[in-house]
Amino acid sequence: MWMIKLLLLSSLFYCNYTLAQTAKLKQPNIVFILVDDLGYSDCGFNGGKEIYTPQIDQLAKSGAILANNYVQPVCSPTRACLLTGRYPTHTGVYNIITPGATWGLPLNETTLADALKAIGYQTAITGKWHLGEFEKAFQPNARGFDLQYGHFFGSIDYYTHSRNNQLDWYRNGIPLNEKGYSTELITQEACKIIETTDPTKPLFLYIPFNGIHAPFQVPEAYTKLYPQLKGNRQKLAGMLSAVDEAIGKIVNTLDKAGLRENTLIIFSSDNGAPPPGDNTPLRDFKATVYEGGIKAAAFVNWPGHVNSGTTITEPMHIIDWYPTLINLAGGKINQSTPIDGKDVWPMITQNKKSPHDAILSVSTKGPIISAIRMDHWKLILLAADSSQLKTKAFNKYESVALFNLLDDPSETKNLALKYPERVTLMQKRLNEMLKDAVPSRAKDAAEELQ
């Protein structure tokens, strides 16, 4: 009898252990793909007609397109927003962090990688960091990432991985001299991480491609796909096709590893495109707070969890992924710094309204130029002292501009004089969001103007 009881107890223990392991494995793997300088309409899923993006388009089609996904006007601020869930007004990262700059994402910020690692995730970044490297404490391995591969700044040569004859290519912070097209190398590393991941632990894999950012470089096989295009537009098209192929390889690797069904894939640009990228029908380009600078092509895909063939029109911001992913992973926000992001999972999966009453955008020079979106209305304001800045970047803005994005997504009709009460209401909310804005972390005027 005692043997039977022992066997039953052993069996019960094994079943409970197995159930515990299974419950643990229900934490989703997270693959976050960030494409650099992608135009809002460069991909087919968002209306593009010139460039072949079948892999990206299939993922978007079988997931949910995020039609009103906001980011920051340039690289570093968007990445800081993603990894902290906080606006630039609270991190001080308004500007591009340049090579040699003695600043970066503040060390008191908890990163998404920190938070996921604390609840059992394996964490890795393969691609562009762009959040500081002048001290080891600012580099990815000290900011929650177990593995780092790629470059710390932008505008590297795609083949030599250098900038101004200075190598910018690392593995876990150690300089790495290797040959190859960077898009392909980043992809190979991502696939290797997936293939060698511990299957008993969830994976957070952050893939910030340097494609399709300048310089415009791509193997000739890709440009041959676009004989109808010329110059840098042809090269950009080839670069995006290379990224598209790369994403297909990553998804295939997830399939082969048996991880696809439990993997959430998020895709976004880091900002709007500069020329020759295509932001149609949005106004203007990268580095502005017009829609062409801050609305990014994006989608989310997770089989069985995100309804396929859907388009989410409710507005969100890249800061929202911080609380959303931590909540999905079963974690809790446990930090001293307040979070600006909101959990958008009910919005994406249950057709709920946006959790935001207002979404903030600020220029690369801090809150001198600010924009706020409330429902389908958008207000752009220049600060009182902005008249001192007589530059082309500032001259394109009116001092007060109000747009109805539902009727006028291209921001062609300034309705500020027609709806002064709405301007007053939105200005009040904007002032509330800016009241505790911190100064820029940039150390000198040259960096401030990046």
The CATH topology of domain 27-349 is Alkaline Phosphatase, subunit A (3.40.720)
Q: Please state the domain extents for the chain.
A: 27-349, 359-448
Residues 28, 262 contacting (CB under 8 angstroms): yes
For residue 362, give the amino acid letter. Answer: V
Look at strands 170-171 and 298-301 and give their pairing.
Answer: unpaired
pLDDT at 160: 97
Average confidence score pLDDT of the chain = 92
| DSSP classification of residue 170 | E
Query: CA 106, CA 57: separation in Å to the nearest integer?
Result: 36
Residue 399 in 3-state DSSP?
coil
pLDDT at 26: 82
pLDDT at 398: 92
pLDDT at 365: 81
pLDDT at 55: 98
Question: pLDDT category, 395, cuts 50, 70, 90?
Answer: confident
The residue among 333 and 216 whose pLDDT is bigger is: 216
Query: CA 337, CA 10: separation in Å to the nearest integer?
Result: 46
Query: CA 196, CA 200: separation in Å to the nearest integer?
Result: 12
Closest CA to 236 of 37, 96, 78: 37
Lowest mean pLDDT among 5-9, 203-207, 376-380, 440-444: 5-9
The share of the chain scoring above pLDDT 90, in percent, equals 87
Catalytic residue (one of 75, 151, 213, 356):
75
For residue 392, give the amino acid letter. Answer: K
Lowest mean pLDDT among 209-218, 245-254, 383-392: 383-392
Half-sphere exposure of residue 165, counting CA atoms within 13 Å on the CB side? Answer: 0
Query: CA 264, CA 204: separation in Å to the nearest integer?
Result: 10
Closest CA to 321 of 172, 190, 147, 204: 204
Catalytic residue (one of 130, 161, 317, 356):
130
Cβ neighbors of 262 (< 8 A, separation 6 or more) are 25, 26, 28, 29
Residues 59, 35 contacting (CB under 8 angstroms): no
- Give tens-digit pLDDT for 319-370: 999 999 999 999 998 888 999 999 999 999 999 999 999 999 999 888 889 9
- Identify the bridge partners of residue 264 per DSSP, sorted by sequence position: 30
The CATH topology of domain 359-448 is Arylsulfatase, C-terminal domain (3.30.1120)
Does residue 130 carry a catalytic annotation? yes
Cβ neighbors of 363 (< 8 A, separation 6 or more) are 73, 94, 288, 289, 369, 370
Residues 106, 86 contacting (CB under 8 angstroms): no
Lowest mean pLDDT among 125-129, 300-304, 364-368: 364-368
Structure tokens that stand for 353 in this block:
């309204």
pLDDT at 396: 84
pLDDT at 12: 42
Does residue 376 carry a catalytic annotation? no
Q: Give the pTM.
A: 0.92
The share of the chain scoring above pLDDT 70, in percent, equals 90
Query: CA 355, CA 347: separation in Å to the nearest integer?
Result: 8
- Give tens-digit pLDDT for 10-57: 444 333 333 333 334 489 999 999 999 999 999 999 999 999 999 999
For residue 196, give the amino acid letter. Answer: T
- Residue 254, pLDDT > 90, answer yes
- ∠229-232-237 over CA atoms, to 5°? 60
